[in-house]
Amino acid sequence: MKNDVLPTQKQALGTDQTLGLTALLYLKEALAAQAFETCRELIDTAKNLGVTSGDISAVIADYLNANNPGRQKANRVRSY
């Protein structure tokens, strides 16, 4: 009987991937705390660790949608 304590290479997250996810988490927390001065650095760090622009945009969009619930409705108003 084989008792593997550590996950196989395919199951384990890579160091860069783990650090990239951590950078995204810190970005989310910085946005929530409105610490916008640190966001640029966190975005650069995440990009350097291989996080895609789409993932970064998703975190920012989640923040914007959570803090501006009427934002999308206002965009649909037509002016004649």
Q: What distances in angstroms separate CA 51 from CA 4, 17, 45, 61, one per listed residue?
A: 30, 8, 9, 16
Provide the residue ranges of all domains of the chain, joining segments of one domain with +. Answer: 15-75
pLDDT confidence of residue 46: 94
Distance CA 69, CA 55 (A): 21
Q: What is the pLDDT of residue 6?
A: 47
Please tell me the predicted confidence (pLDDT) of residue 51: 94
Per-residue pLDDT of the chain (80 residues; tens, 9 = 90+): 455 544 454 455 677 788 999 999 999 999 999 999 999 999 999 999 999 999 999 999 999 988 776 555 545 555 54
Residues 6+ apart with CB under 8 A from 39: 27, 30, 31
